[in-house]
Amino acid sequence: MDKLRHTFYELVQRFTDTVSVADRLWDEIAKHYSARQRHYHNLSHLEAMRGELVSVTEELSYAEAVWFALYYHDLVYNVGASDNEEKSATLAQQRLATLGADHTFTDRVARHIIATKKHEWSPDQDTNFLVDADLSILGVSPERYRAYTQQIRKEYAVYPDFLYHPGRRKVLRHFLDLPTIYKTEIFRNRYEAQARKNLAWELTQL
């Protein structure tokens, strides 16, 4: 995870040269994403998204806001709550404010984060790239996708199958019913076809 940490420090250093501030913010991020109950929404998830965003950096209009949104988008993750994204966005705004970021910037980051809740198309193409990176796991190889479904099930282990399966089926059908899962042409070309195969397969397993 060295690249993940290094990228975060580079972001923070654009606001302050105080290493202790970067250390404090990174330690908070690492602690949240390393929580025991996180089997998928962890630092490995951030690293995978980091790789996806690196590949489209030149397409981003305000890259710094997208990168900060990456680190904070799942900071709060409680499988029994419906406001994780909102709480994550608020924390991101608070932390960025301590760096001296203005409201325009912090609000932009917050909007990106909240968009990862429903993964809907946005008129802001930067948001679409972040959301597509978040959904890139849906279009990975069948083997990796199977592992992902197991990781998600572990995160929701508190729910028995008779509760988990209907909710999961609803999520899968939602994505399959969309005209396109991915909002950007780059990610559609990269993952759309395989994502639909993976989602259809998972439906047969529930």
pLDDT mean for each 10 residues of the chain (206 residues): 93 91 96 97 98 97 98 97 97 96 97 97 97 98 98 97 97 97 98 98 97
Whose tokens are 């209907």? That residue is: 166
Predicted confidence at residue 100, as pLDDT, reads: 94
Give the CA dihedral 91, 96, 101, 106, nearest 10 degrees.
-40
Beta-carbon contacts of residue 57 (< 8 Å; ≥ 6 apart):
63
Closest C-alpha to 52, from 129, 149, 146: 129
Per-residue pLDDT of 38-58, as tens digits, reads: 999 999 999 999 999 999 999
Predicted confidence at residue 123, as pLDDT, reads: 97
Beta-carbon contacts of residue 82 (< 8 Å; ≥ 6 apart):
none
pTM, entire model: 0.96
CA 126 → CA 40, 108, 153, distances in Å?
A: 24, 10, 30
Predicted confidence at residue 1, as pLDDT, reads: 74
Closest C-alpha to 106, from 131, 124, 122, 88: 88
Predicted confidence at residue 17, as pLDDT, reads: 85
Predicted confidence at residue 174, as pLDDT, reads: 96
| Token duo for residue 194 | 């395989």
Predicted confidence at residue 15, as pLDDT, reads: 93
